Structure formats: structure tokens, C-alpha cells
């Protein structure tokens, strides 16, 4: 028996759905930042639309991650040696979401500096809170995955 | 600036400025910023899955 295919599917789906939360909530609804807003401030229509194009590329990639995750989940469901555990899957989801927040925060917010969580503040406590959310979600995911309570009765055939 | 509706494919002045802005940027930098986090997560997920295949 191995739980790894289910965890891997959860990681990809968590990263994809977490990316959608970032893009939809922060980029579009709250408009706290755009993909390149540290380099192209969204205070002109042209800059806002250029950011919008790169936000679209970002969403294309989150969609691909989600689709890959669904594909992996489908593959895992067809294997008799993969226990069908909601706890393991949700752990993978949180792990993927946290991993994405942490990696995206380190690379985009701090190393490349192409945008920040609240753009008008630059590097701020919110960027570190974003990294903290990544660590917290990864920790929660690890705790859930480490539990051995696996529901074998629901294993698909 | 002419404030008219402009999709990124059309021939208006606004769309031209947007395309020029996209091409004038450091495309490698933007592309890296887009792709790197996804590649890292993908690599980790595939490595987790790969170990189960090798068993």
C-alpha cells in the first residue's frame, strides 16, 4: 500500500487552487497587487492592462496545475494499492497550497521583487505573513498526512 | 490617451501601447517569475509520486 500518488495529486491540486485564491482574491477582487505591479504600477490604464495580461498567464499556469492534479487524482483512484483517505488528500491539498505560497512569496515577492502583497507598502509585514501562511499550511498538511488513520473501507476498486 | 475599448489583438493606439509595453519588459524575468514557483511545486509533487512507482 502507498499513499504517495494521493499526496502528489493533493500537492498539485492544492498549489493550483491556492494559486487561484491568490489571483482571484488579491489580484482581481481586492486589487492589492498585479503580477508585475512593483515594476509597472497599475496607476495608468496601459500598465493595468499589461499587468492583466501577466495575471492571465499566471491563471493559465494555475489552471494547468489543477488539471494535472485532477489527472493524478484520477490515476490514484484507479490503483488498488492506494488507500482512499480524505485526511491524506486534504493534507496534500494544504501542503500544496502552503508550498505554493512559500515558494511564490520567496521568488516573486523577495528575490525578484516583481510584486508585493500590498503594493503601495512595498515589502511589508503582509509579505512575511504570506510566507508564514505558507509555512503554517505546509505544517498542517504534514500533520494530516502523518496520521495513520486510513479509511480502507472506502478504497475504490 | 484615447480611452476606448481595446482588446490586446486589435489595432487601436491603446492596444499598440499595451503590446509595446509587453515586449519592452524583461520577458525572461517575467517568465521566470511565472514559471519557477510552478516548476518547483511540480518537481516536488512528481518526486513524491515517482518513489511510489519505483517500489
Distance (Å, whole) CA A103 – CA A73:
23
- A72/B55 CB distance under 8 A: no
Model confidence band, residue A152 (pLDDT cutoffs 50, 70, 90): very low
Size of interface A-B (CB pairs under 8 A): 92
Read off the pLDDT of residues A58-105 as tens digits, 9 standing for 90 and up: 999 999 999 999 999 999 999 999 999 999 999 999 999 999 999 999
Q: Dmax of chain A from CA atoms?
A: 58
Best B5, B13, B41, B44 member to test A by mutation, with max A CBs in 10 Å, is: B41
Nearest to B30 among A19, A54, A64 (CB): A54
- A66 is written with which cell numbers? 489543477
Contacts of A65 in chain B (CB under 8 A): 38, 41-42
Taking a contact as any Cβ pair under 8 Å apart, which residues of chain A between 21 and 60 contact chain B? 35-36, 39-40, 44-47, 49-50, 53-54, 57-58
Distance (Å, whole) CA A133 – CA A123:
16
Query: What is the pTM assigned to this prediction?
Result: 0.88
Q: B13 or A147, which is more confident?
A: B13
Minimal CA–CA distance to A130: which of A38, A57, A52, A26?
Answer: A26
- pLDDT in the model for residue B4: 60
- B24 is written with which cell numbers? 519592452
Model confidence band, residue A153 (pLDDT cutoffs 50, 70, 90): very low
Read off the pLDDT of residues A59-72 as tens digits, 9 standing for 90 and up: 999 999 999 999 99
- A115 is written with which cell numbers? 510584486
pLDDT for A151 beyond 70: no
Best A7, A10, A13, A15 member to test B by mutation, with max B CBs in 10 Å, is: A15
Distance (Å, whole) CA A65 – CA A121:
30
- A116 is written with which cell numbers? 508585493
Read off the pLDDT of residues A11-52 as tens digits, 9 standing for 90 and up: 999 999 999 999 999 999 999 999 999 999 999 999 999 999
pLDDT for A148 beyond 80: no
Q: Dmax of chain B from CA atoms?
A: 63
ipTM > 0.90, yes or no: no
A100 touches A58 (CB < 8 A):
no
B43 touches A66 (CB < 8 A):
no
- A64/B30 CB distance under 8 A: no
Q: B40 or B7, which is more confident?
A: B40
Q: A63 or B16, which is more confident?
A: A63
Distance (Å, whole) CA A34 – CA B33:
13
Amino acid at each position: 500500500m502507498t499513499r504517495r500518488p494521493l499526496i502528489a495529486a493533493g500537492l498539485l491540486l492544492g498549489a493550483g487552487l491556492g494559486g487561484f485564491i491568490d489571483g482571484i482574491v488579491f489580484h482581481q477582487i481586492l486589487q492589492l497587487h498585479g503580477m508585475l505591479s512593483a515594476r509597472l504600477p497599475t496607476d495608468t490604464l496601459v500598465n493595468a492592462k499589461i499587468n492583466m495580461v501577466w495575471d492571465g498567464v499566471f491563471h493559465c499556469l494555475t489552471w494547468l496545475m489543477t488539471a494535472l492534479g485532477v489527472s493524478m487524482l484520477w490515476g490514484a483512484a484507479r490503483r488498488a494499492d492506494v488507500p482512499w483517505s480524505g485526511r491524506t488528500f486534504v493534507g496534500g491539498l494544504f501542503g500544496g497550497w502552503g508550498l505554493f505560497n512559500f515558494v511564490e512569496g520567496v521568488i516573486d515577492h523577495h528575490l525578484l521583487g516583481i510584486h508585493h502583497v500590498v503594493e503601495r507598502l512595498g515589502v511589508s509585514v503582509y509579505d512575511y505573513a504570506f510566507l508564514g501562511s505558507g509555512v503554517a499550511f505546509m505544517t498542517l498538511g504534514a500533520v494530516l498526512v502523518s496520521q495513520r488513520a486510513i479509511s480502507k473501507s472506502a478504497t475504490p476498486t | 490617451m484615447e480611452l476606448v475599448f481595446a482588446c490586446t489583438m486589435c489595432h487601436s493606439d491603446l492596444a499598440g501601447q499595451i503590446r509595446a509595453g509587453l515586449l519592452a519588459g524583461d520577458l525572461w524575468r517575467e517568465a521566470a517569475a511565472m514559471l519557477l514557483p510552478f516548476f518547483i511545486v511540480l518537481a516536488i509533487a512528481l518526486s513524491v509520486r515517482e518513489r511510489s512507482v519505483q517500489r
